[in-house]
Amino acid sequence: MIVITGGAGMIGSIIAWHLNTKLGRDDLVIVDHITHEAQWQNLVHRQYAEYLDKDQLFDFLEGNDDVSAVIHMGAISATTERDFNKLVEANIHYSQDLWAWCTEHQVPFFYASSAATYGDGRLGYDDASVDKLRPLNGYGYSKHFFDQWALNQLPENSPPAWAGFKFFNVYGPNEYHKERMASVAFHTFNQFSQTGAMKLFKGTKEGIKDGEQQRDFVYVKDAASIVAYFFSAALTNKPAHPTTNINGIYNIGTGKARTFKDLATNVMTSMGKTPNIEYIDMPLDLQGKYQYYTEAPMAKVRAAGYKSPMTSLEDGVKDYVQNYLMQDDPYC
């Protein structure tokens, strides 16, 4: 039995999709706390054994000896969350409690970190170390704190296998409930469909042209594939490189930064339309807390034995737009 917290979220539901369709696993316990009225639809195509609210999970786990892994994607993921007490409870204490349960019961544990831990990027994006990082917001700090805490645990106080994943800019199906925090790919599709144009930020930093802020955009199916690789390696104790100890923190991106202009243009051309982009000022609540460039070094994931190629921006956007967003049923 595999527990997936945040299993009704974007990444969690696509991990469940991967486990269902690629690994033939339907012994899933989906855990979440759904607040958006349409988010339940992320689960309509999934095969799973049980659904639990996040507050029911520890009662379910008590005395349960049939859990083979915990994939912990549940969190407050809004970079704009201002209530730090909520972030501490949801992103730190809840994660620590799951870590402790997995340690006691010797169950592999995999969790979502974030590229937001890297802050403005001045110290680079190297997943070999988390020292000296300076996140730009409370969400990023809550993830950074847990990364540091996990790395400081002694082996005897840790699950038998564990990994944290610093997700970069993930886009793709089942993100529709995220509203403002959904990807620019999703917003481009909707804005362009409604108005005939897409609005991107002006280049508000010296040397940055309009729309040419860069991100490492990673397709959600690739993100799920990497998590599933680590899960499979832990269960078989056979990573692709047999001498590799997989425990640690890993970037999940493509290793290639692309501009928002590239992303938006590919969305519109995938719709069969001529691109039309307008440029606007950056909102005040993002100024000084905005990453102008991210790119995920992927050497550590490759060294752990993950061999599949990453989906290009062009191919990922085309699949997302044509096989999901343009369909009557956009859910994966």
The residues carrying an active-site annotation are 139, 178
**Residue 11 backbone phi and psi in degrees, to 5:** -70, -40
- Where are any strands of DSSP class E within 135-216? 162-167, 169-171, 198-201, 214-215
Residue type, 73: M
Which residue is listed with tokens 């110290």? 123
- Residue 98 CA to residue 114 CA, distance in Å, equals 18
Report residue 238 as tokens.
């056979």
**N-term to C-term CA, the chain:** 22
The CA-based dihedral angle spanning residues 301, 303, 307, 312, taken in that order and rounded to the nearest 10 degrees: 50
Give the alpha-carbon dihedral of 42, 44, 45, 47, to 10 degrees. Answer: 110
For residue 177, report the phi and psi dihedrals to the nearest 5 degrees: -80, -10
